[in-house]
Every structure is written in structure tokens, then in C-alpha cells.
Structure 1
Amino acid sequence: MSLFWRIFSLNAAGLVVAAAMLLGPVTVSTPVLPAEALVVVVGLALLLAGNAVVLRLGLAPLRRLGRAMADADLLRPGAREVVAGPAEAAELISTYNSMLDRLQSERAAGAARALSAQERERHRIAAELHDEVGQTLTAVLLQLKRVADRAPEGLREEVGQAQEATRAGLDEIRRIARRLRPGVLEELGLVSALRSLATEFTAHGLTVRHQVAAELPPLTEEAELVLYRVAQEGLTNTARHSGADRAGIELTGLPHGVELVVRDNGKGIGGSPEGAGLRGMRERALLVGAELLVRPGPERGTEIRLRVPAGGGR
């Protein structure tokens, strides 16, 4: 029943009862007698109380809907508001749930296109760094070697320092290219890629332990890329912001999927708002129907837990 008919029916019932009593045993004298005033006041109080109850019950679903709308986040898909209450409220809640489903679907599709374009751009930049800048630095190294062979004794040390700086720059270019385009993921698979990722961050001042299951349920290429990028972004955040000296990567199989855990012993995220890195992780998780949870670690630091269903992907 709609809210209008609920209130109208209650008021109509009250007025009918009042009219029947006035036409029957109840009369109003002039001046009003105390007993008659008591009957009128009690009747009015009952009518007002009934209206208050009907309005409170009828508007409760709208209050719940308001809270749900205030807390809605397209990157955190959750349970929909229960369709209940008067017809107007039930219709509004149903429309809101449908709108949220459509927005999340459109957001996921848009994120998929954006991330796909991002991956293509990463591959292009990585190829240019490797083929153009890398080859140029390699040529510079060869030229410096020839100069070192012909240089006077007093200049050989400076030329050697230039060689070492060029070689370090070439190594850095190659490292950046590998991070932009995880060739090991394409060539050797997810397990080897995660182990290589842990080794790479360990070589840059952060001790990263890895525990990766050898056998995993079948995953799509998209799901493997999401797992790799989430692990990479998690370790990058750890290295840049957490102040941690230890981190860990765990990848285990579940009955119907896999679970990736990245944790560190840093200062944690506290009450700070989520940055672009974490929001990027959530967008990637939506692409494969995964569940992403970011919370404090068992002792301290931060723990990122990603659960990907087997065969996840759109």
C-alpha cells in the first residue's frame, strides 16, 4: 500500500469513528464538560500517534536509502538496499539499485578500456626505451670503450667513471622497461613473474619474501595481469611510502580461485585517504570480478588481499 493510502486510511478511520461516536453516545456541550474534553483529547492523541507511527514506518526505507546513497562507492560493490516499505519507497529503492548496477557496469567497462589503453601505452614506451634509448646508451658505451683504449693515462679514470655512469643508466632504463612491460609474465607465467618481482624489489633495499604456490587454478591472461599489477603496485607503495624494511608476497590457490596477499611491516595507511595507487588496484579488481581488501597487517603495516575467481575476466 502506498504511503498516501496508509495515511488517508488511518485518518479516515479516525474521522469515521469520531463521527459515529458524536452521532451516538458522545456529545459536546456548551460549555464543554471535563469528561467530554477528555474524550476529545484522547481521540486526538490516538489519531496523532497513529499518524506518527505510519509516517515513521513509511519513511524508514527512505532514510536507509539516503544512508546507502551517501556511502555508495562504485569501486566497492556491495549488497543492494532491500526493496521494502510503501509502494513509492519500494519503487524508488528498486530504481536506485538498478541505476547502481548500470553505473558499476559502465564504470567497469570504461575502466577496462582505459586500462587496456594504458597497457598498450606501457608496451609502446617500454619498447621505445629498450630499442631507442637502450641502443643509444649501448652505442655510447662502445664509444667510451674506444676512447678509454686511446685516452692518456690521466684521463682513463674519468672515462671509466663515465662508462660506469652510462652502464648504470642503461641498467636503470632496462629495469624501467621491464616494469612497464612484464615480459617474464608473458614468457614464463605468473609464478615466475611474481618471484622475479620480489627479487627486483629486494635488490633495491627492501627485503621481500615470496611464497607462491606451484599449482594454481586456471586463470585468464587478464586475471594474471591484474594479479601481477596489484602485487607490483603494492610493493611500489611499500617502497615509497611505508618506511618498511620487510615485505612479503603470497599467492595461494582457493577452491574456486586464487588469493594474493601483499603485506609489509611499515607504518600503515592510518586514516589517510586512498591515493591513485589503491584506487587503480580497485579498478583492476573490478575487471575480473575480484575482491580487494586493504587493512592493517596482523602485527603492523599494511596488508593487501586480492581474491580472484578462477577464470575471472570479462
Structure 2
Amino acid sequence: MQPVSLFWRIFALNAVVLGTATALLLWAPVTVSVPVVLTEAVVLVAGLAVMLVANAALLRLGLAPLDRLTKLMTTVDLLRPGQRLPASGGGEVAEVMRTFNAMLERLEQERATSSAQALLAQEAERRRIAQELHDEVGQTMTAILLGLKRAADDAPAPLRQELHEVQEITRESLDEIRRLVRRLRPGVLDDLGLVSALTSLTEDFATHTGLQVTRRFDTELPALAPETELVVYRVAQESLTNVARHANGRRVTLALRHTDDSVVLTVTDDGSGIKAPREGAGIRGMRERALLIGGSLEITPAPRTGTRVQLTAPVSRKSSDHA
């Protein structure tokens, strides 16, 4: 059966309203005098009002799918996939909705592919920079420290004190470079695994911010794919950075637990809290990383005060069997 176009459906709605009004005028025992009597004018105005209301209601019903489409088009976010419109039946409106859903599907796939390529390139660049800092700058500053030590041992007392001060400044700079290298590419993640990497991350965070950090890790966590471990680590890193910059809190809890088919990372602080998370570059970056591994990210107010960031990362059947 050929579907009825939107034009003919609207035409039919108006025809029904006008035909009903005409029938009422023909059969109603009402005549129009010249000049018009007040009661006749009241009846005509009331009839016109009924026609307008009925026409508006029918048009609203017929165009409601387009209103839903317009609303979704203005609010859709590719970082929150799965937003679709029901597109049952035939006709032009249903076809437009199916086309829009297909477009969203294609855009989400293209966004996921491009995000994955960008994040992989970003990690490769971080690895390269970390390697250069470690091999070139770090070794150079280590050599400078050794030279300063030898010079201080042979220098007279007044100069020896100044050399010791320069040596201490150089050592602090070397420690800062090593900390930057760990942030750029956490070697402990590759060598000792996710739990050790998160432990090192939180200890370093507590040392440099003065905040109290509580860790809660399940005793038996499944083996995760390397890209999943990296995403969990990066989300934890960004969450702690946001706590230090914006939360104004004193305590942070980092938890990692295992559900039936996923690993859940939760970072909760006792800071000022949020009413609605600002979708800055950091938060959107975390969402993109979550989508990269087929996970999800939720940012909500904590039960009492503060903010809770929760990443749900799926565990592949292969990894679970291996564990």
C-alpha cells in the first residue's frame, strides 16, 4: 500500500474540520440576519473557535513526530551514543526519522573511529616525549648532578655551599622531570599492572596536593586488555587532576571493583560538588576514552557532598577466561 504523504494528511485533517463545520451550519437551525444579531454572532464566533481548536489539536498530533525530531537534533551528543527516535510505520515522517537514525549511527561510528585514531596518536606522542625526556634530558641532568658533586667536593668552603644549593635545585628539577615522565607514560602500568599503577598515581597525587586519598581495590580483579587498563588509568588521572583544580575538598576515594562483566572505577571527593558537570576538554576526553573501549562514564553528585566520577569498562570474555 502506498503511504500517504504529509501534505495529504494535513489536507485531510483540515478537510475534516471544515466539512464538519459546514455540516453543522447546514443542519443547525440557525440563520444569519442582516444586520447580524448578537446571539447569532456569538454562535458563529463559538463555532470558529471550536474549528480552530480542533484544527490545532489535529495538527499537533500529526506533527508531534517532527517536534521530537527537532528536539533530538538540538540536544544530541555523539559522546552519549544510542539516542534514537521511534520510526514505526510508513510515510514521509517515519522515513525522515529512519534516515536521521541512520545518520546518527554513521556519525557515531565515524566519531568512534576518528577518536580512537586521535587517542592512539596522542598516546604514541606521549610515549615519544616521555622517552626523550628520560633518555636525553634526564641523563643530561644526572650527568650535571655528578659534575656538581665532584666540583663541590674539590671547591673551597664558600663556593661549596653555593654548589650544594645548585645541586639541590638540579635534583628537584630532575625529580620533576621524572614525575612528568610518569604522567606522560606510566611505565609501572606496563611493568606491574593496573593496581600498582593506580597505587603509585594516588601516592604521588597525595604527596603533591596534600589531600587524603583512600584506595579500595577488589582482591580479585580480572585481567584486562592493555588498552582498557590505559583508559582506566587515564580516567583516574584526569579525575584526580580535576579534584585538585576545582573540588576544594580534603579527601578523595578511588575504588576499583569487579562486577559480572565489567570493571568499575569510581573517584569520589568531598569537595564543593556540582549541579551539572561542565563539559570541558577534560570531561569530553574521558568520555571519548570510555567509548574507545565500549564503556560508559557518569559524572554525578556524590551521596553527601562532592562529585563522583564512575567509569564502567567491559571485561571481554577472553580476558575473563584467562583470569
Letter in 2 for 1:300: T
Q: Is residue 2:257 matched to residue 1:264?
A: no
Question: Which shifted more, 86-95 or 182-191?
Answer: 86-95
| Counterpart position of 1:138 | 142
Q: Is residue 2:16 matched to residue 1:7?
A: no
Per the TM alignment, residue 50 of structure 1 is displaced from its structure 2 partner at its CA by 4.3
Distance 1:263 1:107 in 2: 29
Question: Which shifted more, 142-151 or 303-312?
Answer: 303-312
Distance 2:20 2:277 in 1: 61
Q: Is residue 2:194 matched to residue 1:190?
A: yes
Give the 5 Å matches for 1:3-152: 3-12=6-15, 48-83=52-87, 87-152=91-156
* Superposed CA offset, 1:236-263 (max 9, x none): 1112222222211100001110110011
Q: Is residue 2:294 matched to residue 1:279?
A: no
Q: Is the 8 A contact 1:266 1:302 kept in 2?
A: yes
Q: Is residue 2:220 matched to residue 1:210?
A: no
Q: Per the alignment, in what secondary structure is the counterpart of residue 272 of structure 2?
A: coil
Q: Per the alignment, in what secondary structure is the counterpart of residue 172 of structure 2?
A: helix
The percentage of aligned residue pairs carrying the same residue is 56
Q: Per the alignment, in what secondary structure is the counterpart of residue 203 of structure 1?
A: helix
Distance 1:21 1:156 in 2: 111
Cα distance change, pair 150–69 in 1 and its aligned pair in 2 (3 A): same
Match of residue 295, structure 1, among 288, 300, 308: 300
Q: Is the 8 A contact 1:230 1:281 kept in 2?
A: yes
Q: Per the alignment, in what secondary structure is the counterpart of residue 271 of structure 2?
A: coil
CA RMSD of aligned residues (A): 3.0
Q: Is residue 2:320 matched to residue 1:311?
A: no
| Counterpart position of 1:222 | 227
Q: Is residue 2:139 matched to residue 1:164?
A: no
Q: Is the 8 A contact 2:277 2:299 kept in 1?
A: no
Distance 1:298 1:123 in 2: 38
Cα distance change, pair 26–76 in 1 and its aligned pair in 2 (3 A): closer
Cα distance change, pair 293–25 in 1 and its aligned pair in 2 (3 A): closer
Alignment TM-score, normalising by the size of structure 2: 0.85
Q: Per the alignment, in what secondary structure is the counterpart of residue 228 of structure 2?
A: helix
Distance 2:162 2:20 in 1: 107
Q: Is the 8 A contact 1:251 1:261 kept in 2?
A: yes
Distance 1:176 1:269 in 2: 29
Cα distance change, pair 192–27 in 1 and its aligned pair in 2 (3 A): same
* Superposed CA offset, 1:108-160 (max 9, x none): 11111111000000000000110000001000011001101110012211111
Q: Which runs of 5+ in 1 are unaligned?
A: none
Q: Is the 8 A contact 1:83 1:90 kept in 2?
A: yes
Per the TM alignment, residue 58 of structure 1 is displaced from its structure 2 partner at its CA by 0.8
Cα distance change, pair 210–219 in 1 and its aligned pair in 2 (3 A): same
Q: Per the alignment, in what secondary structure is the counterpart of residue 11 of structure 2?
A: helix
The total of aligned residue pairs comes to 311
Alignment TM-score, normalising by the size of structure 1: 0.87
